[in-house]
Structure 1
């Protein structure tokens, strides 16, 4: 278990640095469209988590440390949106569409409300 946790930690560090580099590059090239860095990271992360998950379904012989380090570590550090998207796809594929769309809606609305609440609390404190 400790080897898997170390793989996740190392992957998370790598994914976080990758996210920083992509976002910095986008902001440097298109400063008016600052959000495109996050958009690019999220879409690329979704593509990669789908690709890796599909590959790992047929390659269970690959070490757990590698599989978990890449998906949970690297892609988790790169973007959690990729995990969110994969979970929704799994719910849809499992015939749980109502739950998938509820999760989608509550996550987006809940995230926006939480961000608003956090900003509001910070403004009150200053």
Structure 2
């Protein structure tokens, strides 16, 4: 007896079934990637708009980036409580809004560049203050937003 595919024979000599075709890694993740990209474009456009409306002066504290990052962190705090404690969100809501919109709106790269510019402009104290203030304010904003949202929801349920 001849075997059409000798590489696909089990121990007993019987032809083994053809291996299952592997799905592309993008098959299941395609919609998620698309939602992150769409949300990111929206968030980055909003951040760009904020920078155009309130441009930062060279060598000055970058209030626009600071405010965008702190507000974005507060919104993510509210959002995470809502989609974990209140609302059974569709599987694409978190990638779209949390990762995409808010990830595109907030900006670590501009934050880092702002610090480098302040140091290069001879303002290392302002750069260090900005570095610390952003970290403290962003973490505080998330904590306050989560706490306030949970309290508001508890009060509403009474």
Report TM bin, short chain. Answer: 0.5 to 0.7
Bigger proportion of residues as helix: 1
In the alignment, does 2:43 pair up with 1:20? no
Q: Equivalent residue for 2:79?
A: 52
Quick one: distance in 1 between partners of 2:107 and 2:62?
16
Query: TM-score, normalised to structure 1's length?
Result: 0.58
Q: Structure 2: which 5+ runs fail to align? A: 1-28, 121-158
**Number of residues paired by the alignment?**
86
Distance 1:34 1:21, change over 3 A: farther
Quick one: distance in 2 between partners of 1:37 and 1:24?
9
Quick one: distance in 2 between partners of 1:37 and 1:54?
26
Q: Equivalent residue for 2:31?
A: 3
Q: Secondary structure at the match of 1:11?
A: helix
Return structure 1 stretches of 4+ with deviation > 4 angstroms: 30-34
Deviates most, 62-71 or 51-60: 51-60
Distance 1:26 1:34, change over 3 A: farther
1:57-84 CA-partner distances (Å, limit 9, x unpaired): 1246211111211000001111145xxx
Kindly name which structure, 1 or 2, has the bigger radius of gyration based on alpha carbons. 2
Quick one: distance in 2 between partners of 1:80 and 1:22?
12
Quick one: distance in 2 between partners of 1:15 and 1:63?
20
